[in-house]
Amino acid sequence: MEKETTIYDIAERLKLSPATISRALNDHPAINHDTKSIIAATAQQMGYRANMFASNLRRQRSNTIGVIVGSLTSSFMSSVLAGMEQVANEASYNLIISQSLESAKKEIANARTMFDSRVDGLLVSVAYDTDSFDHFEPFIRKKIPLLFFDRVLTHKQCTSITIDNAQAGYEATSHLIEQGCRRIMHVTGSLKRNVYADRLAGYRQALMQHNLPIDESLIMVTALDREAGIEAARRLQAMDNRPDGMFITNDFCAASSIIALQKLGLSVPNDVAVVGFNDDTVAQIVAPQLTTIHYSGITMGEVAAKSLINHLTGVQDILTTNRIILRSELVIRESSLHGRVRS
């Protein structure tokens, strides 16, 4: 392996002191412009690379933020990361991004890697099956700021960024009721996760406020993947008292259900009205286009990154609040418009 060029090599070539080389490369005002230019050009010619790791160790900071997400495949999470990246770049921070693949075991390994990498702070959307905070405790003990977003864990020393998922679930279900639906299937994810537990609570609240019975057999807890959407459609089609509405808490799963329902000979929305969640790209590709809950992934990413960086730079303490709630809205498209309202 070729030897790395050091400031001592540059100093020897230019017959200057290593201290002068170091100051020039760090743009110190004591070094004049012409000398800086000569040193910079020589450093580039010799293939010099700054040892940022050693420099960061001396400064006790890495200018790096760790990000752990469940999956990188969704368009929503891609937009969250785009928002984070933009804010981080503007503040001269780097992101280390990892995915847990919706596995608590993988998330634990990711958290350990982030800790060992000496990240300045950590942003996390927890995995589908995470049920413990233990792997994040080292960050708390070291006073490394930890912020959860979207799928969150509650801790008195952590801030979380979410939407009001209960309200969003209520609005989605109420919309179906207003379209005339009286038996609404709810397809959701692991109730360990705040997002799904809260959306289910909103679904229940809407039924109660509209004096409709809550039928537990219409609530499906699934992986919210393609297969779950197909299974939900099959289960609905096989029921004697068939549901006339579906509130599915993930757009990809909802789109899968729409396609499966149509293959089973059911019309969407005339036979079954469908509402999804997240306003992913697939919502406007599937036919009919999908009614869904929209909330900005870019905004969530920007707010998360900005909150953490403001804390790291002393602008604002993120611990002044335990929860930041962002806006969401119901976007009505063809998939939920029954075309008739029942008494």
Residue 309 sits in a domain whose CATH number is: 3.40.50.2300
34 and 139 together in one domain: no
Domain assignment present for residue 232? The answer is: yes
Helix (H, G, I), strand (E, B) or coil at 48: coil
Domain assignment present for residue 55? The answer is: no
The reported pTM is 0.82
186 and 269 together in one domain: yes
**How many structural domains does the chain have?**
3
pLDDT of residue 59: 54
71 and 158 together in one domain: yes
Q: What percent of the chain has pLDDT over 70?
A: 95
For 262, the domain range is 165-295+330-336
185 and 247 together in one domain: yes
pLDDT tens digits, one per residue of 205-238: 999 999 999 999 999 999 999 999 999 999 999 9
Mean pLDDT over 109-130 rounds to 94
CB 126 within 8 A of CB 153: yes
**Amino acid occupying residue 199:** R
179 and 286 together in one domain: yes
User: 158, exposed or middle or buried, with CB in 10 Å at 0-12, 13-18, 19+?
Assistant: buried
Is the pLDDT assigned to residue 302 strictly greater than 80? yes
Domain assignment present for residue 133? The answer is: yes
Domain assignment present for residue 57? The answer is: no
Mean pLDDT over 293-303 rounds to 97
269 and 309 together in one domain: no
pLDDT of residue 297: 96
Domain assignment present for residue 131? The answer is: yes
Provide the 8-state DSSP code for 291.
Answer: B
